[in-house]
């Protein structure tokens, strides 16, 4: 029986196509983390920016177990690319500095000036729902380059203040139901869900 010796970059490129650009950020590169761009992912005329290398840093969940994650964000609008790169850089630094994993259904306030034109207030943590289900968890037993056996890709979606309030009042499960009914999460011109 042939064993599939796939590493996480293979996994990314299997689902997003070959990366089209890498953005050198010295502070991240010193920690062996890169930021990559994938065109036409998850859909035509969209792009995804993703980290690579965060998986080498063990992150702790709320129940004290350890996990390995990579972070990503997708958009339709070209004008937010630099802001997404900056945001993922900050989020990766935050994860490595604190050692905390990103838990689904949490949201993080945006740094000043990020996505200001679109009036988002924070980014919401979820799984990459617009990608094939097999993308949502990377598992291997190959230990290619000392990569962990399991990596969880974390997808960030920008949300509005009204949506934050909805989460606080009705809970993340109800918000996720609303979120997944719409197919505009990569469109930064979208209207608030609530």
What are the pLDDT tens digits along the chain (194 aa)? 333 456 899 999 999 999 999 999 999 999 999 999 999 999 999 999 999 999 999 999 989 999 999 999 999 999 999 999 999 999 999 999 999 999 999 999 999 999 999 999 999 999 998 898 999 999 876 655 677 889 999 999 999 999 999 999 999 999 988 887 777 899 999 999 88
CB 144 within 8 A of CB 5: yes
Largest CA distance in the chain: 54
User: Rounded CA gap, 7 and 75, in Å?
Assistant: 25
Nearest C-alpha neighbor of 50 from the set 138, 166, 160: 138
Q: The whole model's pTM is what?
A: 0.92
Nearest to 154 by CA among 105, 194, 109, 102: 102
- Residue 109 phi, psi (nearest 5): -65, 145
Of residues 135, 129, 110, 118, the one with CA closest to residue 176: 129
């Amino acid at each position: 029986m042939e064993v599939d010796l796939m590493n996480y970059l293979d996994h990314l490129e299997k689902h997003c196509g070959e990366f089209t650009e890498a953005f050198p950020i010295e502070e991240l590169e010193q920690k062996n983390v890169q930021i990559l761009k994938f065109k036409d992912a998850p859909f035509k005329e969209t792009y995804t920016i993703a980290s690579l290398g965060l998986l080498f840093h063990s992150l702790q969940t709320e129940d004290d177990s350890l996990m390995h994650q990579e972070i990503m964000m997708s958009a339709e609008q070209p004008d937010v690319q630099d802001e997404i790169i900056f945001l993922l850089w900050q989020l990766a630094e935050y994860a490595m500095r604190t050692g905390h994993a990103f838990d689904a259904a949490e949201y993080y306030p945006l740094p000043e000036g990020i996505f200001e034109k679109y009036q988002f207030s924070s980014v919401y943590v979820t799984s990459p729902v617009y990608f094939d289900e097999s993308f949502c968890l990377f598992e291997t037993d190959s230990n290619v380059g000392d990569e962990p056996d399991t990596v969880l890709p974390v997808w960030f979606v920008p949300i509005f203040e009204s949506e934050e309030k909805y989460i606080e009042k009705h809970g993340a499960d109800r918000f996720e139901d609303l979120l997944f009914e719409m197919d505009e999460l990569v469109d930064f011109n979208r209207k608030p869900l609530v």
